[in-house]
């Protein structure tokens, strides 16, 4: 199992996902699940909006989230330490997965994707990313990367509210990024 604690430390307090900010300009929900919540930036953002959030991560650091919440706000968050492969998801209005679910064991990805869909209430939303097949991580057999056609197949049971293909090179280490930003509503 990869150790994500350094990543969580580096991303603590980073900017909130633009996809999430964009979503909340037009939509609102009462409850959400943050899959692979990491350092909890998006969880904290949603809790501060009065949303009940289930924060899930394989290497959960509750303090990263709780230290940024008031005593009253802490009532809006619950935690689950679980891998994607063993996850149980309750019914919810929104599931967020920011750069997280591609790290599910590839043998279990379809099962995870179906669990996400089945846990969404009618007209519930999925927001997150899937990695594209031109990402530099596509050579790593433990990371899920997909062609645009395969991503669209995964989204066939959703109404697409935003679908954007992004490609860039990170200057610090020349890492090639290729991913799909997704905001989708369950049909």
Predicted confidence (pLDDT) at residue 8 exceeds the cutoff of 50: no
What domains does the chain contain, in order, with CATH numbers? 5-172 (3.40.50.150)
- Reference 143, options 183, 108, 180, 115; nearest CA is 108
User: Which of 88-92, 113-117, 163-167, 169-173 has the lowest average pLDDT?
Assistant: 169-173
Average pLDDT, integer, range 4-22:
69
pTM as predicted: 0.92
Q: Are 109 and 144 in contact (CB under 8 A)?
A: yes
Residues 151 and 146: their CA atoms lie apart, in Å, by 6
DSSP state of 98: S
pLDDT digits (tens, 9 = 90+) for 14-39: 579 999 999 999 999 999 999 999 98
For the chain, give the percent of residues with pLDDT over 90: 87
State residue 2's pLDDT score. 61
Average pLDDT, the chain: 93
φ, ψ for residue 171, nearest 5 deg: -65, -35
φ, ψ for residue 118, nearest 5 deg: -70, -25
H or E stretch covering 143: none
């Amino acid at each position: 199992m990869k150790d994500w604690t350094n990543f969580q430390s580096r991303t603590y307090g980073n900017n909130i996902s633009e996809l999430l900010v964009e979503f909340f300009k037009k939509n609102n929900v009462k409850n959400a699940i943050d899959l692979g919540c990491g350092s909890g930036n998006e969880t904290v953002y949603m809790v501060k909006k009065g949303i009940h959030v289930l924060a899930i991560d394989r290497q959960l650091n509750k303090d990263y989230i709780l230290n940024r919440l008031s005593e009253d706000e802490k009532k809006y968050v619950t935690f689950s330490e679980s891998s994607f492969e063993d996850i149980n998801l309750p019914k919810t209005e929104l599931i967020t997965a920011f750069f997280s679910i591609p790290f599910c064991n590839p043998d279990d990805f379809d099962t995870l994707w179906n669990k996400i869909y089945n846990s969404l209430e009618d007209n519930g939303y999925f927001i997150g990313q899937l990695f594209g097949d031109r990402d530099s991580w596509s050579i790593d057999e433990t990371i899920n990367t997909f062609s645009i056609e395969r991503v669209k197949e995964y989204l066939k049971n959703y109404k697409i509210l935003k679908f954007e293909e992004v490609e860039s090179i990170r200057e610090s280490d020349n890492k090639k990024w290729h991913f799909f930003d997704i905001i989708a509503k369950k049909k």
